[in-house]
Structure 1
Amino acid sequence: MEAGTKLAFLAGSVPLDADGELVGPGDPVRQAEQVIDNLREQLRAVGSDLAHVVATDVYVVGSEPAVLSAVWGVVEASGLSAGPHSSTLIGVACLGYTGQLVEITATAVVPGEPPA
């Protein structure tokens, strides 16, 4: 990245709806979809989008490769993993909200005028 590049560090995109209710209890794929939707909103709020994400950590409750792969499929389908991007997919024992199965942290470039 060039000097003067603005970055957004987004922690904890979680599977909650606008009312703070858990989406997709027991369904990691549905939760991953909600997490991506919420991440899009977080990025939009800082003037960025999925195409400008350069790094992610994807946390999934569980250790079954099939569950982690299913969540990764949602990430890939969203376009989040396209382009120059580093990502880590991590199976964990639990996350912050009761029933939460997926969380994504992200670092994104905030596009704007190039530095003078």
Structure 2
Amino acid sequence: MPRTVTLIRSASLSDVAEYAYAATAPADSRLIFLAGACPLNDDGSTAAIGDYAGQAAKAVENMETALADAGATLQDVISTRVLVASARREDLVTAWKVVRDAFGDHDVPSTLLGVTVLGYENQLVEIEAVAAVLDS
């Protein structure tokens, strides 16, 4: 399946960011809007309680499953928003490193946010994403 996402880096902005500043997809691509991927096990329980990295990994795994069900992969993601239930920068960075590593060279535009609480009991991480694919 052809890739549709084009990542855009700006020479006018800081190169410290570990992600592209923008991304585009052709007008004829199909956009996929994912609900927030949560760190839930198959039985609905929260995975990796108290572990930011573990919850980020489980959220990425669940996001990959949702993408696959929609006919996409991580390489088709055009943007993400990573929500971390913490006011500590270190916790946000811990979760972010897991997400960043999962995407590898496909460093999509992303927003990392510290929030006060997330929807499930003991939930620390949630990842929202939009993907774009060309159906053949």
TM-score (norm 2): 0.78
Distance apart, 1:65 and its partner CA: 1.1
Q: Give distance in 1, aligned partners of 2:109 and 2:78.
A: 6
Select 2:59's aligned residue among 35, 58, 66. Answer: 35
Could you list the runs of 5+ residues in structure 1 that have no partner in the other structure? none
1:82 aligned onto 2:106: yes
For 1:102 and 1:32, locate their aligned partners in 2 and report how far apart those are by CA, in whole Å.
6
Cα separation, 1, equivalents of 2:49 and 2:97? 19
Q: Distance in 2 between matches of 1:80 and 1:59?
A: 19
Unaligned runs of 5+ in 2: 1-24
Q: Is the 8 A contact 1:81 1:87 kept in 2?
A: no
What CA distance in whole angstroms lies between the structure 2 residues aligned with 1:42 and 1:3?
A: 23
Count of matched residue positions in the alignment of Structure 1 and Structure 2: 112
- Shift of residue 105, structure 1, vs aligned partner: 0.6
Which fold has the larger relative contact order, with Cα–Cα distance below 8 Å and residues 6 or more apart in sequence? 1
Give the aligned partner of residue 8 of structure 2.
none
| Partner deviation per Cα, 1:65-94 (whole Å, 9 max, x = no partner) | 1111111110111016724x2110000000
What's the counterpart of residue 48 of structure 1? 72
* Residue 41 (structure 1) shift: 0.0
Q: Percent identity?
A: 38
Give the conservation status (yes or no) of the 8 Å contact 1:47–1:111: no
Q: Check conservation: 1:75, 1:81, Cα contact below 8 A.
A: no
Q: CA RMSD in A?
A: 1.3
**Residue 63 (structure 1) aligned with residue 108 (structure 2):** no
After TM superposition, the score normalised by the length of structure 1 is: 0.91
Distance 1:39 1:81 in 2: 18
SS of corresponding position for 1:74: helix
